[in-house]
Structure 1
Amino acid sequence: MLSKFSELSSHLNYLVDADPNLAIQEARDLVLDGRDRLNMMSLRAATLVNAGASLGHKDAIDEGVELYRELHNFYPTVEITYNLANGLVESANCGSADSKWLDQQEHARAYRAEARRCYWRVVQDVDTDVELRTQAWTNLANLFAKTYRLSEAHDARLSALKVDPTNGVAAFCAALDLMWLYRRGDCSELTHMEAVMLARQALRNRERIVQYAGERVAAQVEALASELSDPPSRSQHLNPFIKWVEEERLTLAPAVELVDTSLGKLDWLTLPGILEREPEVGSMPPPLFAMFNMLKSDFALARDLAWRASDESVWPKTGQFADTLDYALYGPDTSALILAHRTALDLLDKVAVMANHYFELGLAPNKVSFGRVWRDSADKKTGTALTKKVEVLIRAGVYAMYGLAELADDYDSSEGILRSQKDLRNSGTHRFVVLHDFGDPLRARQAPEIEHLNHSDFIAEALGALRVARSAIQMLALAISQHEEILRKQTNGMIGTLVVHDHHWVRGEDEEL
């Protein structure tokens, strides 16, 4: 029986390439009754999705997706979850050739969100097969990159490479996105160097690039890899904090990149030149710069708290605490870690406030929240459509704003892949989070007011929150940059300039790393 099924599977796989129309027809003819029902369902689903994608037949792909959903209800393995995600992505990509970018994203929004959730479940399962996990990270990264969530895409690709350093596709895609940012003129030379190094890493596994992306892409890898001779050697960072920031990719730069000590600062992401809308105010920079300074300040504080929380000797031993007999941790170092997580996620609302101000979205500052500034209130007929002003901006070319809207969906939606971060932030803000360094937190005496978590797990959550905040700030800066480019093209005549100097330089307080 197994041999017969294997022969049938090989036959349909052959037809997917040789005659996809026949593959769809024969897949639909498969009998799904009997003892081998689940295997036959899986084979039909895979054939419909793959052949349908080859032909651009969305009906066949969606039929396969529904089969995968049914299978997932019976047999929710990571393999089925991964295949369901791939089917959803193929369906999302199967839009009309005449569709505009935003229309296609919005039309496939639910499918892409479900695909992100599926990939997320696969990558979070540390027992998943290495090849499946690295591919899930890579595919998740591709979804992020398509909607300008570039730093999240880079994080995901680095995670794919950590799981499997031979993943040449992840390495090359990471290099391409870094080069896109570098060619905009926003990044340091270190970004270019890192892109070339990633291309060279990809080339070490050229056969995988050819397998998944073809010879043309492999040639692109070779071209990028040859742009630099061997890079200059980089000395190890002596400062343990700088080393930690680089390892965790927690700088606020235009790209997720290595730390360039020649720049003198870790967080050198800046706003582009802003066309003044109130010329009568004189020579004072617009309020936007003060807002952006505080975003960066708060991010730096949250990151610093997360770092210092790892060393309990930093904090004075002023408190006496009752032992709750459950290996819980109490003291300012623990509270600093929880505060770092909360402070990082609080920045999301401030990103929304700054966007509302700059893009003139029209909301009162005290009515703005990150989860709801981009879309209208839910409606039974239309769902949650983008607000008219946001839609107009994205259609005009402010594409990074769509990334912010999608990040908000993942954070605010009850099923979003980042919803656990919001729930944990709410627990830390309005109730209590208690961390434990030994044993099972669930064995602690429970109360609805307390969230009990492993200390090591919470450290990972805090670092994740910092990366979410970093992503939002970077996308906001990119969205503003894209908008300013549009405004400049629309402006006639000469444009006068006002140099906005570095704050610490003006005060004579500039320090090197």
Structure 2
Amino acid sequence: MDTIDFSSKKPKEIIEIIGANFESAKAKRDLEKLQSSIKVALEIDTDFFDTHSKAILHYFIGNAWSYIQNIKYPLEEFPLETYELEQQIICLRKAYSLIKECNDKFNTCQILTNLGSLFSHIGRFSEAQEYFNLCLNIDRKFGMAIGNRGFAMYYYARVIFEPTHQFIFMQYARKDLLESQSSNQVYLGAKNAFKSTAIEIEKAYPLDLLNDFKNYGDNYKKLTAKEREYREWCAINRLFINPLNDILTESVVANDYLFTPSMILRFDEKPIFHSLFNQLKQEFVSARFLFYEALNQYKPHFSDKEVVLMDTLDYSVYSFTLEKVKITFRVCYSLFDKIAYFINLYLKLGQNSNRVSFRNIWYKQLNKSNGLNERISTTKNWAMRGLFWLSKDLYETEFDLTIEPEAKEIATIRNFVEHKAFKIVESFNNGWSDKSEIFEIDRSLFYDKTFKLLKLSRSALMYLSFLIYDEERERKKLLGNKLTMPMEFIEIQDDEKI
């Protein structure tokens, strides 16, 4: 593209020029112009940009990457891993992190809707609902979010194995798809797609059932006040390992029912996978409760009494409550590598179990330069694709590109918490030198990052369960009429969990 002198132009003018170049190249399906326009946009000195202008620039660049993706891969089928998808997510996340501090509801909703659609597209369907909900919390009438949420919910429903739960998803999907028809924000092509999907749902279920939204009542009635408050908090924050909690927050979803299906094993194989999933799930729910306790601890714990600590005049804080948050952080981060260990065994990938991590499990010989393992790259398992893309939210030295802007900082925190020196402060002391012997972080900021990990690990466990269900369906198809011997497991009762 022609060289443009931006030196005398204001941020708004620069953004308008960049946006016009992107749209012009899109209309002409000019791949080269799109790529060169992105290069120009990335080279702009944004030091004099205000926060809102930076957000819109990232948003426009993200859109440009989506145009390239659509030109290079025009069909629904696309490679598991593409640079264009990575860049879209990075740009949109950067845009959202900036624009949420600004008073721009429309563009905030646009960005969140795009993120929701993108996450559904890559198999992170649980988190997609979160983005749509964030948007609709800002503007309940945002038509494209309503329609795309219903669209994503429809595809989410197709991985759910429990018929009643699948039906509830279809109910709410249809409700959103139909509601989007009355919005003047939704363009005609999208309206038609949403309408045809609603019709597909109506073909599968009677209309009287689809229109009958149940009142599930109060399942908290018999609980103590403390347990009720805890379960309400989990449901509202969508932290139950239960897909229904992605669309509902009523008491009916206040349980961690999602588990693994019956599995087909050779006669000489140990039935280890249910046990492994038990442990992953127990660690998560325990971490979740510890975090909840920490959030609701308003006075010193008796175990902190008579513990002699010195005030070093740096606003640092120490308590059993904060240790609970640190434990939550540690446990949630550790779950990802344990999931990789599980996947290696379950899919019989044959990787070195002592070197497996959540970032490298997907690649031949655990090395990204060797390319994706064929078992992974050719998968039609949507949840497996979702787990692969979720792994890109984590940082490892060998994997410098992540799609989560905070990934490197979170990895650094984990390193300091586990191996070095880590300190939580009430406020930063600007008088201290900025050295790295001790990692300092504000209390509320550390809580936010821990909550992010809690949500991410919950999604990972959900995808792992769905991965297994889909895989077992395929194994049963391959098995045909061959004889199998069932091995029944019974559910561990609550009163046995001491």
Q: Distance in 1 between matches of 2:238 and 2:432?
A: 34
The answer for the alignment partner of 1:483 in structure 2 is 471
Q: Distance in 1 between matches of 2:481 and 2:164?
A: 33
Q: For residue 259 of structure 2, what is the amino acid of its counterpart?
A: T
Distance in 2, matches of 1:152 and 1:204, equals: 21
Q: Say yes or no: does 1:372 pair with 2:360.
A: yes
Task: Provide closer, same or farther for how the CA distance between residues 131 and 60 of structure 1 changes in structure 2, counting only shifts above 3 A.
Answer: same
* Matched ranges for 1:177-196 at <5 A: 177-187=152-162, 189=164, 192-193=167-168, 196=171
**Aligned AA (1:305):** L
2:348 corresponds in structure 1 to: 360
In structure 2, the residue matched to 1:422 is 411
Determine the structure 2 residue equivalent to 1:112.
85
Which residue, out of 216, 223, 240, partners 2:192? 216
Matched, 1:302 2:287: yes
Offset at residue 290 of structure 1 (A) = 0.8
The answer on whether the counterparts of 2:132 and 2:149 sit within 8 Å (CA) in structure 1 is yes
Structure 2: state its 5+ residue gaps: none
Residues 323-342 of structure 1: pairs in structure 2 closer than 5 A = 323-342=311-330
- Opposite residue 463 of structure 1, the aligned amino acid is F
Q: How does 1:20-419 map to 2 (within 5 A)?
A: 35=8, 42-43=15-16, 45-71=18-44, 77-97=54-74, 100-102=77-79, 105-106=80-81, 109-125=82-98, 126-128=100-102, 129-187=104-162, 189=164, 192-193=167-168, 196-197=171-172, 200=175, 203=179, 206-211=182-187, 214-220=190-196, 227-232=210-215, 234-235=217-218, 237=220, 239-254=228-243, 256-257=245-246, 258=248, 261=251, 266-276=255-265, 278-280=266-268, 286-312=271-297, 313=299, 315-318=301-304, 319-376=307-364, 384=369, 386-388=371-373, 391-412=374-395, 413-416=399-402, 417=404, 418-419=407-408
Given the superposition, is the C-alpha separation of residues 184 and 190 from structure 1 closer, same or farther in structure 2, using an over 3 Å criterion? closer
Deviation for aligned residue 1:368: 1.2
Q: What do the CA deviations read for 1:257-282 (whole angstroms, capped 9, x no partner)?
A: 3356557x621111122111x2146x
For the residue of structure 1 that corresponds to 2:378, the secondary structure is helix
Shift of the alpha carbon at 1:427? 2.0
CA drift of 1:497 comes to 5.2
2:442 counterpart of 1:454: yes
Determine the structure 2 residue equivalent to 1:496: 484
C-alpha RMSD of the superposition = 3.5
How many residues matched?
A: 468
Aligned letter for 1:142?
S
**Paired-residue identity, %:** 18
Tell me the distance in 2 between the aligned counterparts of 1:387 and 1:31: 40
Change (3 A) 1:472 1:415: same
Taking the aligned partners of 1:479 and 1:268, their CA distance within structure 2 comes to 16
SS in 1 for 2:312: coil
Q: Which of 458, 471, 477 is the equivalent residue of 2:459?
A: 471
Deviations 1:109-153 (A, max 9, x none): 222222222211221123232222222122122222111011222
Q: Which moved more, 1:183-192 or 1:491-500?
A: 183-192
Given that 1:378 and 1:384 are in contact with CA atoms closer than 8 Å, whether structure 2 keeps it comes out as no
TM-score after normalising by structure 1 = 0.80
Q: 1:73 to 1:444 in 2, by over 3 A?
A: closer
* Residue aligning to 2:424: 435
Partner of 1:9: none
